[in-house]
Amino acid sequence: MIQTIKTQPYGDQKMGTGGLRKKTKVMMQENYFENFIQSVFNAIGGVKGKTYVVGGDGRCFNAEAIQKFIKMAAANGAKKLLIGQNGYMSTPAGSNLILKNKTNGGFTFSASHNPGGINGDFGVKYANETGGQVPTSITDKIYQLSKEITEYKISDAADVDLSQIGFQKIEDMEIEVIDPISDYVTMLEKIFDFNALKNLFKSGFSMRFDAMNAITGPYATRIFEDILGAKQGSVIRATPLPDFGGLHPDPNLVYDKDLVDFMYSAQATDFAGANDGDGDRNMILGRHFFVTPSDSLAILTDNYQYVPAYKNGIYGVAKSAATSTAVCRVAQARNLPCYVVPTGWKYFVNLMDSNRITLCGEESFGTGSSHIREKDGIWAILFWLSIIAATGKSVEQITREHWEKYGRIYYMRFDFEGLDTSVADKLMTDLEEKLPSLKDKYFNGYEIQNAAPFVYNDPVDGSTTKNGLVIDFKDGSKITYRLSGTGSSGATLRVYIESPDKTNFNQDTQQKLQNLLKTAMEVAEISIRTGKTKADVNT
């Protein structure tokens, strides 16, 4: 039976860079999740007769959330849900299913790289028929309606068994429980030359993939070990756990130090990769070598000819403003357009849909292409393996040759976490006001060329987005400041710094960027305002 439940708004359901993210316990409050889902439904004109892809990264509250979602979709008249077996679905696999089945969209229950568990975070990513997360115009509408909500609809039917593949029905809605991996594999087989990759492993090539106890374990085991023939045990931490085993499933130098240490040890494999909680981020490592995500995007772009799906040419590339300019150098040399967008994958969607770009990426360990409308962690690793298989070169060789050709852009991101929201907001507004006065000033040996907010005019829908403050220096160095939009409490200030070098490729990154970091802190008065003398996380 369909029930109408009276409710009251919580008022804080604003979606950030990657959907709605809250503390798990906040999401578990009475009617909280329900309010949000009903607000999404209301904002898109209802779900009557519509079909959606549904799944999550398996974190704490995933199972309960999916059951609630099913009952609400049924009560609101949805036609059908395609649900990953056991409620599991990586973000890229979900995007693929939306496009492949031409559904009206999809819901992924994940707070991505944020820690999970009862004391961690939970989240909802909502994608529309593009396969990508919806633009700000829609998230604004959802937020507005969530502040006015008075009731939601839900079926009182029993929980649905999601362990068996096949068809079921609840109210008038059809449910199809599917193997979330097979379609994803089929998609990747169309992009890459799997035989070439099989031969690579046959030749004795060794790799390690760290799933960080999150969603990509079963995907990676099937793809790398079962299909491509990587040695058994190559995929580690392969079972998704509700609390990710206490890990912070963010594949970077800090949160996957285990993998980094392993790759700098005597036991290191030829290659290593890791993915985040929901499988859209990737980290690339070679033997005793780390590739920055910005370099990775540039290197993939410069080697697209080694991948069957791209070898006949690509439309163009795009990066977020905070990502280093490495990829734009490649684009320029190869006569490709290079778009610079605000942080957040949704900004790439219009560019892909209008055939302006094929490859894109962000400094935050996200790389992808127009095969779907989300970043894709396993795709990025297969791309790297394809280059290695075709060239016979190591990760380090490939990267060093890239630097020889284009110069090296030293890059690092510094995060100041747990700030008081009002302090962080004021820091940004005061800094913005000060920017024009910084022009031509010298700081610690660096002369400022220009300082301004980053403003993006979407060439497709004409919308304008302002995100972050950028200081450009005369030598090509750059500092970008922005506040994170994925946190579940407090504020995080991100300071992104890059500095190019044409000849010296062997400096320590932190040392190279030291004076720029000092400048970044002075200009924004970070220590005085936040009490922090150094960043909490450097990646």
Longest dimension (CA), the chain: 71
DSSP 236: E
Please identify, using beta-carbon distances, which residue of 99 and 111 lies nearer to Co ion.
Answer: 111
Q: Which of residues 486-505 bind ligand VG1 (CB under 6 A)?
A: 486, 494
Q: By three-state DSSP, how is residue 311 classified?
A: coil
Question: What is the b/e burial string over 324-349, where b = at least 16 CB atoms within 10 angstroms of the residue's CB?
Answer: bbbbbbbbeeeebebbbbbbbbbbbb
Choice from 13, 15, 18, 120 touching ligand VG1 (CB under 6 A): 18
Please identify, using beta-carbon distances, which residue of 31 and 252 lies nearer to ligand VG1.
Answer: 252
Please identify, using beta-carbon distances, which residue of 273 and 366 lies nearer to ligand VG1.
Answer: 366
Which residue(s) pair with 470 in the sheet? 452, 480
User: Which listed option, ligand VG1, Co ion, none, makes contact with residue 485 (CB within 5 to 8 Å by class)?
Assistant: ligand VG1
- Pull the structure tokens for residue 117: 């568990």
Q: By three-state DSSP, how is residue 304 classified?
A: helix
Q: Which of residues 411-440 bind ligand VG1 (CB under 6 A)?
A: none
**Contact flag: residue 276 with ligand VG1 (CB under 6 A):** yes
**Contact flag: residue 278 with Co ion (CB under 5 A):** yes
Choice from 115, 249, 344, 468 touching ligand VG1 (CB under 6 A): 344
Whole-number Å distance between alpha carbons of 125 and 397: 38
Please identify, using beta-carbon distances, which residue of 104 and 294 lies nearer to ligand VG1.
Answer: 294
- Pull the structure tokens for residue 88: 């599991």
Only one residue has tokens 């790439």, namely 348
Please identify, using beta-carbon distances, which residue of 18 and 217 lies nearer to ligand VG1.
Answer: 18
**Contact flag: residue 276 with Co ion (CB under 5 A):** yes
Note the helical H segments in 192-283: 194-202, 216-220, 257-263
As measured in angstroms, the least distance from the Cβ of 377 to Co ion is: 8
**Contact flag: residue 90 with ligand VG1 (CB under 6 A):** no
DSSP 407: -
Choice from 364, 386, 399, 539 touching ligand VG1 (CB under 6 A): 364
Choice from 485, 509, 532, 537 touching ligand VG1 (CB under 6 A): 485
Q: Which residues are catalytic?
A: 112
- Of the listed pieces 40-48, 81-89, 210-218, 338-346, which binds ligand VG1 according to CB under 6 A? 338-346
Give percent helix, percent strand, percent coil of the chain, each to the nearest 5.
35, 25, 40
Choice from 38, 369, 484, 499 touching ligand VG1 (CB under 6 A): 484
Q: How far apart are the first and last CA of the chain?
A: 51
Minimal CA–CA distance to 252: which of 345, 365, 363?
365
Site size toward ligand VG1 (CB under 6 A) is: 18
Element (H, E) at 66: helix 62-75
As measured in angstroms, the least distance from the Cβ of 371 to ligand VG1 is: 17
**Contact flag: residue 480 with ligand VG1 (CB under 6 A):** no
Instruction: Say which residues have a Cβ less than 8 Å from residue 134's Cβ, sequence separation at least 6.
Output: 126, 127, 128, 346
Minimal CA–CA distance to 522: which of 454, 452, 434, 461?
434
Q: Phi/psi at 151 (nearest 5 deg)?
A: -160, 160
Which residue(s) pair with 450 in the sheet? 472
User: Which listed option, Co ion, ligand VG1, none, makes contact with residue 484 (CB within 5 to 8 Å by class)?
Assistant: ligand VG1
- Of the listed pieces 223-231, 270-278, 353-361, 397-405, which binds Co ion according to CB under 5 A? 270-278
**Contact flag: residue 281 with ligand VG1 (CB under 6 A):** yes
**Residues lying near Co ion in the complex (CB under 5 A):** 112, 276, 278, 280-281
Which residues of the chain form contacts with ligand VG1 (CB under 6 A)? 17-18, 112-113, 276, 280-281, 320, 343-345, 362, 364, 366, 484-486, 494
